[in-house]
Structure 1
């Protein structure tokens, strides 16, 4: 797989756990966000290695491009919801339905409208700087 990584580094994992603890410390609303983050990280950890590497990069890109979205699982998949709790973007690993590619998808809360027809899902087979740029641009557009 082009641009393959070994996944999250130990430092990245530790930072995400620290962030989850910070959210829990904020009270009820923060605890819900922490639970969502932990659920997403657990869902990613259960994926096959190639799918997991893609999911980790998607997670990092979505959280950087749209920090206002909250991670949560949706049908067992990593997803990111807006302030109203509506899923905007999700990641479906190839292994979930035995597909030959992972899927980056957008729900109706995403503002990707472009005339009378536009794509709402993208096949994702490998990660590269160009893919990262495209994903970040899509996520920013979906949340603007």
Structure 2
């Protein structure tokens, strides 16, 4: 966060403000859709369009993550969440893909919300850095997603 070192709060970064505005636009757009089937179909198209806009390295990873999640857990519904591809169960986000570009990070992130059933004792990972989606990473993602929705 800007100003964290100085102790002075300087507000949200430009990237954070853009993500909040994108989230608000997404909520308004979803509210205008009529049938649940139309909403679901359009939400997936929105996710695919967002992935297509990403820089090549992020796009390649996001496409693979999307394919793994949708094949591993078909009950998860793709949707945009703060401008990121996300996957929800009963309307609540379980996991999401955050491109490196989104917040000018050095790696993409596969994140899990508190809805994910990944609990391990008193501490567990809720986010994973991704620099490449290899076949081994795909297996791990599938296992995490399967566990998250179990």
- Report the TM-score range of the alignment, normalised by the length of the smaller protein: 0.7 to 0.9
Deviation at 1:94, TM superposition (A): 0.3
Other structure's SS at 2:104 match = coil
Structure showing greater relative contact order (alpha-carbon pairs closer than 8 Å, 6 or more residues apart): 1
Distance in 2 (alpha carbons) for counterparts of 1:29 and 1:98? 35
Query: Which ranges in structure 2 are unaligned for 5 or more consecutive residues?
Result: 1-33
Query: 2:43 matched to which residue of 1?
Result: 36
Runs of 4+ in structure 1 over 6 Å off: none
**1:15-46, CA deviations, whole angstroms, 9 ceiling, x for partnerless residues?**
xxxxxxxxxxxx81111101110110011011
Residue 137 of structure 2 is aligned to residue 128 of structure 1: no
**1:59-108, CA deviations, whole angstroms, 9 ceiling, x for partnerless residues?**
000000100000000000000000x2000000000001111100000001
Other structure's SS at 1:94 match = coil
Count of residue correspondences: 117
Q: 1:68 aligns with which of 56, 67, 75?
A: 75
Query: 2:101 matched to which residue of 1?
Result: 95
CA RMSD of aligned residues (A): 0.9
Distance in 2 (alpha carbons) for counterparts of 1:127 and 1:38? 22
Distance in 2 (alpha carbons) for counterparts of 1:40 and 1:48? 15
Distance in 2 (alpha carbons) for counterparts of 1:127 and 1:55? 9
Distance in 1 (alpha carbons) for counterparts of 2:112 and 2:133? 18
Residue 61 of structure 2 is aligned to residue 54 of structure 1: yes
Query: 1:106 matched to which residue of 2?
Result: 112
Other structure's SS at 1:95 match = coil
Other structure's SS at 1:45 match = helix
Query: 1:137 matched to which residue of 2?
Result: 143
Q: 2:123 aligns with which of 117, 122, 129?
A: 117
